[in-house]
Structure 1
């Protein structure tokens, strides 16, 4: 009996007796008990009541490759090579990078939980089981690194557009790769490249979206999830479908259009537009007013000595003061 099979039974949030679980899964009650211990080790709220059995309080919103595939339009499906839904893995981007090295364009890896999920600058990304979205997409580009300018910002626009179509409006974008809601982090984007920096290459686009984050999770920055804003929109399969419906055509056309096609939309959601900010780059700090991004996605800051532009790197952006 696999852990995934047991979780699929308990996903309904109802009580199931040990005998029932053993009968459905074809194993002894002792084997069921061993698997139930693994459920607890995942940090899931497993309840046990004598005479009733076992249940996961509130049930589980498990990812389903077939449900995701069915939700995609035919045009979007044609851009996707494989939808690979995993249980517990180290990182979807690690798995996707392995496929990228093999030249697997359109490969998508999604996971119920990551044990080594990461965000920008190597920060850990909280990834509790069956709670949020953690997925990575592989895409091929022929123009090398130069053709990727502004891609992470454009992906942010796609995420915001998908959220709006899902019933959550008001999300904002923080340069270069965060999605915020009411000033708190809702989602993040991370890009990694393999191949020829000046020619044919593959890019892994990693996206993490807080959907139903358990309150017990400790995160070192203000955060928010979909459930707390719009409970009806907190369906992980539907949210992933909505994002893919926006993201895949963006990837297919980005090399021809570039970031300039998304610049106005990004700026319309700019969380720091016309506000005083502090840009930290290494040991240097530049203070000024954020005045948008240029056609390549570089952030522009108006300082006492004029407008300065910054392109990625080890940069952190925080509201000044």
Structure 2
């Protein structure tokens, strides 16, 4: 608890001397210095001024289960079986996948202030600075098997957009199959992983990463154009309220998805589609296929108009780029 207690003091953004911090936590000044070094290595910006002490510029909002709970709808609280909140995990998805092996983890939520080995689609690294963005995984059980999951990542993306609209965050679009964009730059990503039988009951780990307040020096490590909520809204968005609003939207839509699938959401999803009616290039395995994007179908497949007609492509080894 020492690190969390230390961070709780630094959260106000003011200077605190090493002596003050040591007395508050019952540890030596050298131990405080070592903790500060570790936090800096984890990507937290800390100012150190001789004679004044340490401060986190702009302050810090730690994830707080009590605050999150205050924003959650009562029906959503009932669906969350357990919440695992840690300062650091290798990957929230990885931990969720390990714990769902042979166990019923429906409704379990995994939250981390930082991921040391965060992953995106196709195993790409997900830059995860400490206490600046949002990283979580939610486990959901489906009784109809993997075939019933068609379009799930698209539904999750739609839930994220609608949650952001509740926070007055506009100009967010969807990129098939699992990204959110704003101003043509990546804002958030979704990673789905499945444990269970192809034709029977399975548990899906729904991993979400949202750029909330990305430090520029760490953003330089990202291999594509990116944006965060601070750049969109002009202010730092509360991560506690954000995760609550995302869960409020996501859990309700998961229940509907279990009954009705994705087909009834096609028009709504396409209204946010960044590449609707645009020339694009699909990379399918080692091939590139050019055409005009015609949206998605009821199974969540992307539709491409080519010289030979309209073809449907599913996820897996398919990726989308705007044609240049």
Match of 2:239 among 203, 216, 236: 236
Alpha carbons 2:63, 2:239 under 8 Å: kept: yes
Supply the distance in 2 between the matched residues of 1:17 and 1:35 (Cα, whole angstroms).
14
For 1:270, the equivalent position in structure 2 comes to: 273
C-alpha contact (below 8 Å) 1:65/1:84 kept by paired residues: no
In the alignment, which residue of structure 2 is the partner of 1:48? 48
Partner residue, 1:280: 283
How far apart are the structure 2 equivalents of 1:81 and 1:209?
A: 23
Q: CA deviation at 1:233?
A: 5.6
Q: Does 1:162 align with 2:163?
A: yes
Counting only pairs closer than 5 Å after superposition, residues 198-213 of structure 1 correspond to structure 2 as 198-213=199-214
2:232, 2:189 → 1: CA distance? 17
**After alignment, is 110-119 or 253-262 more displaced?**
253-262
Listed one character per residue, the Cα deviations across residues 111-138 of structure 1 (whole Å, up to 9, x for unaligned) are: 1111111111111111011111010000
Indicate how the Cα distance of structure 1 residues 36 and 283 shifts in structure 2: closer, same or farther if over 3 A, else same: closer
* Equivalent-residue separation in structure 1 for 2:83 and 2:107 (angstroms): 9
TM-score w.r.t. structure 1 length?
Answer: 0.97
CA distance in 1, matches of 2:4, 2:264: 42
Residue in structure 2 matched with residue 62 of structure 1 by the alignment: 62
Q: Distance in 2 between matches of 1:67 and 1:82?
A: 16
Specify the SS of the correspondent of 2:216.
coil
Q: What is the alpha-carbon distance in structure 2 between the residues aligned to residue 107 and residue 94 of structure 1?
A: 14
Where does residue 248 of structure 1 map in the other structure?
251
SS in 1 for 2:157: helix
Q: CA deviation at 1:56?
A: 1.2
1:286-311 residue CA offsets vs partner (Å, 9 max, x unmatched): 11100010000000001110000001
Equivalents in 1 of 2:169, 2:177: separation in Å? Answer: 21
Which of 300-309 and 224-233 deviates more? Answer: 224-233
Match of 2:297 among 279, 294, 302: 294
Q: C-alpha deviations, 1:196-232, integer Å up to 9, x for none?
A: 1101010000000000000002211011000011134
Q: How does 1:80-99 map to 2 (within 5 A)?
A: 80-99=80-99
Q: Which 4+ residue blocks in structure 1 deviate beyond 4 angstroms?
A: none
8 A contact 1:118–1:125 mirrored in 2: yes
What are the within-5 Å matches in structure 2 for residues 6-21 of structure 1?
6-21=6-21
Distance 1:281 1:81 in 2: 39
Instruction: Provide the C-alpha distance between the structure 2 equivalents of 1:63 and 1:231, rounded to a whole number of angstroms.
Output: 21
1:75 maps to 75
Aligned-partner Cα distance in 1 for 2:71–2:256: 22
Unpaired segments ≥5 residues, structure 2? none
| Aligned-partner Cα distance in 2 for 1:99–1:261 | 33
Paired with 2:192 and 2:36, the residues of 1 have a C-alpha distance of 37
2:213–2:236 Cα contact (<8 Å) kept:
no
